[in-house]
């Protein structure tokens, strides 16, 4: 039976949450050799590894990363407010990730000074990443703009499913995605990348499987009359084109060929 737009919207939210939990035990394994060893023990099903192989933090399998938890908070706020309320979302992020929460561990202290005792990793509990630490400091300081302007992690993309699902097909969708993103991330490249991801997800929610999605989104980004334009859209276009040019390569071929450690 064909899925409706509503079915695909719900599927996007649930799928993102399940994928985050499935990957969490192997999150942030930056060593290609270590990842290869871990995957060798799990073939052919690496998802939901029973024991954490995460070198930075350990959570029970089935729990979310800090990215998945942000998506949950966003979904909760959207549901309770019947739309995007930035003030409500800000309060909920602070309540979920701030003082006295499961994330409030010594290594995760947003005011922890560099140069202190060397951290013992992995920590027992969730990881409060750089953008969340900056968000907490900005809220504490009473700043109107609470988003981190220097951290370029994937928070925006990882948590966008609920807001895209709610506003897919509506002219204000990208505006809502940007507003939600900037609560914790105000770096312009993060925003431009997140809005591009939102365009992809919206297309799949509205249309289902689409082999022309890459070309369609590239056309949107190159349209001078596109909605919610960003100064860095052309930078993102170059990266999306690079993805298109390398679709034939599998990840273990692509990563060493295109990316280098810095």
- CATH number at 175 reads 1.10.4080.10
Residue of 195, 72, 182 whose CA lies nearest to 131: 182
Asked whether residue 126 is assigned to any structural domain, the reply reads yes
pLDDT tens, position by position, 122-146: 999 999 999 999 999 999 999 999 9
Pull the structure tokens for residue 241. Answer: 């084109």
Q: What pLDDT is attached to residue 32?
A: 84
173 in a structural domain: yes
Under a CB-based contact definition with an 8 Å cutoff, are residues 105 and 66 in contact?
Answer: no
> Considering the chain, what is the average pLDDT of its residues?
94
Each residue's pLDDT tens digit, 190-230: 999 999 999 999 999 999 999 999 999 999 999 999 999 99
The pLDDT assigned to 118 comes to 81
Specify if 181 maps to a domain.
yes
pLDDT tens for 4-37 read 999 999 999 999 999 999 999 999 999 988 998 9
User: Does the structure show a pLDDT above 60 at 261?
Assistant: no
In a domain, 33, yes or no: yes
The yes-or-no verdict on residue 262 having pLDDT over 50 is no
Query: Which pLDDT does position 114 carry in this prediction?
Result: 80
Domain encompassing residue 147:
5-109+121-187
**Domain count for the chain:** 1
User: Average pLDDT in the 165-184 region?
Assistant: 98
In a domain, 198, yes or no: no
| Residue 61, number of CB atoms within 10 A of its CB | 15
């Amino acid at each position: 039976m064909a899925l409706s737009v509503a079915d695909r919207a719900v599927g996007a939210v649930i799928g993102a949450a399940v994928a985050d939990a499935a990957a969490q035990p192997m999150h942030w394994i930056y060593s290609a050799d270590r990842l290869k060893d871990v995957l060798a023990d799990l073939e052919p099903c690496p998802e939901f590894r029973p024991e954490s192989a995460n070198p930075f933090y350990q959570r029970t399998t089935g729990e979310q990363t800090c990215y998945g938890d942000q998506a949950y908070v966003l979904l909760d706020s959207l549901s309770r407010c019947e739309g995007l309320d930035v003030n409500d979302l800000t309060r909920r992020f602070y309540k979920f990730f701030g003082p006295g929460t499961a994330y409030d561990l010594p290594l995760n202290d947003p005011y922890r000074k560099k140069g202190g005792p060397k951290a013992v990793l992995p920590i027992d509990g969730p990881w409060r990443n750089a953008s969340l630490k900056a968000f907490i400091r900005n809220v504490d300081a009473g700043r109107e703009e609470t988003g981190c302007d220097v951290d370029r992690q994937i928070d925006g993309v990882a948590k966008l499913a609920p807001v895209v699902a709610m506003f897919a097909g509506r002219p204000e969708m990208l505006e809502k995605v940007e507003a939600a993103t900037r609560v914790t991330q105000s770096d312009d490249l993060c925003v431009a990348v997140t809005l591009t991801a939102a365009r992809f997800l919206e297309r799949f929610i509205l249309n289902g499987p689409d082999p022309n999605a890459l070309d369609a989104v590239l056309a949107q980004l190159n349209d001078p009359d596109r909605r919610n334009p960003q100064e860095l859209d052309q930078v993102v276009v170059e990266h999306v084109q690079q993805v298109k040019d390398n679709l034939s390569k599998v990840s273990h071929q692509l990563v060493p060929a295109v990316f280098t450690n810095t």
